Structure 1
Amino acid sequence: MKYLITGATGLIGNNTVRQLLAQGEQVRVLTRQKTPLVELDGLNVEICHGDIRDAASVQTAVRNVDCVIHAAAHVQVGWTQQKLHQQVNVEGTRNVAAAACGQKVRLVHISTINTLGLGSLANPANEETGQPGLVPCHYATSKADAEKVVQQFIDRGLDAVIVHPSFSLGPWDWKPSSGRMFLAVNRGTVVAPSGAYNVSDVRDVSAGIAAAAKLAPTGRRYILGGHNLSYLDAWRAFAQASGKVGPRFRLGPIARCVASVGTDLWTRYTGIEGGVNSASLGIGSQETCFSSQRAEKELGYRIRNLKETVTDAWNWFCEHGYVDHHRSHVGRAAASFLP
């Protein structure tokens, strides 16, 4: 089969490219960058230049492929950049779905577990049982709107599947994305958010995406997750990769309230919103725990040991120079609490 992958320089997209190539598939990528891409260096891929916000370039990229894997998204957890989230996550998805539908090409739309709501550590949710109440930042709401767009095209005849990855760690996190949190924890912290979430290995997620492209019936949804953990336990596991102890305390409600007010005031007066703000702090106090049982049963999805995931992620960052100089990559904020 021949695949088009959007968002091929991101964590999930890049690992999916590598997963498909390892399976002997042909891969085309759609990218805005016209300079050599380190993320794709040495990979046997066809590069198509364009932007998912430009319908014409998307139509061109979709020609003569069998399946589109739509991984491109704008991810920023907070209360700013609403317009950009709308343009990329919603209208960009509309362009991709329209092209796939018009050319009768299968679509695997990569969403997020956060569109499914909340699931407790004691009782993880599945694709249908998530509870409402997740802090409605623009990223989460735009991804939910993007799913509605895909469903509208499914109703018109599009052959599409939606997958919901959780917070993913692993190699090939060039930007980095989820790795920002991982690196920040390994820099040292004594306090962790009070909530819980699901941590997956991006290699498991990319294998699940490839399986969904081949096996999933039209309209089916799959959670591609991993281990449900409190942030405290997860961050301690992250810290152990570099031989550190990790945080000792959970962030209490009073401290969270003070931090939320302070960071939002900073945004208001400077116009700059960091990764730590009232939205990310609020999400960090919630529980977003989910089960991947459907994907395990129907797609053969497998979840590897958390220690392997954390160790391999740490080794990749070390080998690629992110550890000695990661402050320049991470910035001042610890990163968001969304996948």
Structure 2
Amino acid sequence: MDAGIVLVTGVSGFVGSAVARRLAASGATVRGLVRASSARTNLDGFPGELVEGDARDPAAMARALKGVRYLYHVAADYRIWAPDPEDIVRNNRLSTQTVMEAALAARVERIVYTSSVATLRPGDSASGGRPADETRPATPEQAVGAYKRSKVVAERLVEEMVLQRGLPAVIVNPSTPIGPRDARPTPTGRIIVEAASGRMPAFVESGLNLVHVDDVADGHLAAMARGQTGERYILGGQDVSLREMLTVVAELVGRKAPTIRIPTAPLFPLAWVNEQIARVTGKEPFLTLDSLRMAAHDMYYSSARAEAELGYRARPYREALGDAIAWFRQAGMIA
């Protein structure tokens, strides 16, 4: 990448902080956008300039983009549940539109937009059971839950701006990142913490694609360097059943692996109760109705296109789990 300021939104977050660190290690001049209310755990020793602002605020974005040549828009409202689910959709659509409008006004040369595999339809019988790829975009109506719907809406907005207004953006679709600096933690990170702490004696039949967060960050840099404008690239790792994932977590911490498989149907009333409690406490529930609906699908994805066109590579998921557990222990989340 040529010399120039690189702006990363969402630098206090899990993926955003990884992208910023990888950029700094590559020699880039990094500027990070962070909200005043954001936790600062991942900003210790931040390798660049920090600017406070909200991605939904046009004036803040204009200030943050001053003199910027390249942009990574990583920030998102990453909640699986909210008292008003449509708030997630509004936030992610508005922030994406505001950032992209500001980038056009600032004449940013190139953009990597962080979407999600949530914008793709999982593999099914019609696809022969193969992992999903970039050719299976979902409509908002096909997305399960407000978060996934919000990412579909935002991704389609970016695609429209590329086609109609020449937005110089490449789209990346991370699968399920795990690893160090999952400070919040993410829903998958919470599962790892609970399992490593011996609080998950059972599992549901489901599957997901696990990838090390630092490999996702490397994929962002590869997309900036080699990605085609307007195209999307899945940044995934390995397809793993939930049972297999929990077994590996148990092995890594020296616990007994769960052996009880439970159907999802009896869990729906419990999820409903959890959500009602969350409405009172304001604390995000561990088990939600949308998470159970998602569990009905094996969320398996192929990164073949990113591998072929970007030179993308991902390490074994077991290594990613090990790094995640080590960080959670250091952070005091696992005894």
TM > 0.5 fold call: yes
Query: In structure 1, how many angstroms separate the alpha carbons of the residues matched to 2:264 and 2:327?
Result: 35
The one-letter amino acid paired with 1:173 is D
1:159 is matched with which residue? Answer: 168
Instruction: Please give the per-residue CA displacement for 1:155-206, whole angstroms capped at 9, x wherever unaligned.
Output: 2111001111011111122222242221012122121121111111111100
Give how far 1:130 is off: 6.0
| 1:331 corresponds to | none
List runs of 5+ in structure 2 lacking aligned partners: none
- For the 8 Å contact 2:119–2:143, the answer to whether it is kept is no
Q: For 2:170 and 2:56, locate their aligned partners in 1 and report how far apart those are by CA, in whole Å.
A: 21
* Residue 223, structure 1, aligned to residue 226, structure 2: no
Aligned partner of residue 131 in structure 2, secondary structure: coil
Could you say if the C-alpha distance between residues 158 and 313 of structure 1 is closer, same or farther in structure 2, counting changes exceeding 3 Å? same
Matched, 1:23 2:26: yes
Identity of aligned residues (%): 33
Q: 1:33 aligns with which of 33, 36, 61?
A: 36
Partner of 1:333: none
Residues 130 and 142 (structure 1 numbering): CA distance in 2 closer, same or farther, change over 3 Å? closer
**Among candidates 95, 99, 104, match of residue 102 of structure 2:** 99
CA-to-aligned-CA distance 1:53-96 (integer Å, 9 cap, x gap): 11110111112111111111112213633343134211001011
| Alignment partner, residue 10 of structure 1 | 13
Selected match of 1:75 from 66, 75, 78: 78
Q: Does 1:201 align with 2:212?
A: yes
Tell me: CA distance 1:214–1:55, structure 2 relative to 1, closer, same or farther (3 Å). same
CA pair 190-53 structure 1, distance change in 2 beyond 3 A = same
One-letter amino acid of the structure 2 residue matched with residue 186 of structure 1:
A
Secondary structure at 2:265 match in 1: helix
Q: TM-score, normalised by structure 1?
A: 0.88
For residues 197-227 of structure 1, the C-alpha deviation after alignment (integer angstroms, 9 at most, x for no partner) is 1111111100000110111111010000011
- Taking the TM superposition and a 5 Å limit, the aligned residue runs for 1:102-141 are 102-105=105-108, 106-119=110-123, 122-129=129-136, 136-141=144-149
- What amino acid is aligned across from residue 260 of structure 2 in structure 1? F
Q: Distance in 2 between matches of 1:214 and 1:280?
A: 35
Equivalenced residues, count:
324
Q: What corresponds to 2:178 in structure 1?
A: 169
Please say if residues 7 and 72 of structure 1, whose CA atoms lie closer than 8 Å, have aligned partners that are also in contact. Answer: yes
Deviation at 1:271, TM superposition (A): 7.4
In the alignment, which residue of structure 1 is the partner of 2:295?
284
Distance 2:67 2:30 in 1: 11
Calculate the aligned-residue CA RMSD, in Å: 2.4
Say if 1:79 and 1:279, in contact at 8 Å, map to a contact too: no
Change (3 A) 1:196 1:145: same
> Does 2:317 align with 1:309?
no
Match of 1:60 among 63, 66, 69: 63
Q: Which residue does the alignment assign to 1:186?
A: 196
- Matches of 1:203 and 1:270 in 2, distance apart? 34
Distance 1:322 1:76 in 2: 20
Question: What is the CA–CA distance in structure 2 between the aligned matches of 1:91 and 1:154, rounded to whole Å?
Answer: 17
Q: Are the equivalent residues in 2 in contact too, given 1:192–1:250 (CA < 8 A)?
A: yes
2:249 maps to which residue?
238
Amino acid of the structure 2 residue aligned with 1:5: V
For residues 245-275 of structure 1, what are the alpha-carbon distances to aligned partners after superposition, in whole Å with 9 as ceiling and x for unaligned? 2321232143234434444555678776613
Question: What displacement does 1:100 show?
Answer: 1.2
Q: 1:294 aligns with which of 305, 309, 314?
A: 305
Q: Does structure 1 residue 212 correspond to structure 2 residue 223?
A: yes
Cα deviation code 1:261-296 (max 9, x no counterpart): 444555678776613121111112221110000001
Which shifted more, 294-303 or 100-109? 100-109
What letter matches 1:166 in structure 2?
Answer: S
SS of corresponding position for 1:254: coil
Is the alpha carbon distance of 1:276 and 1:27 closer, same or farther for their aligned partners in structure 2, counting shifts above 3 Å? same
Counterparts of 2:271 and 2:37, CA distance in 1: 39
Q: Look up the SS of the partner of 1:47 in the other structure.
A: strand
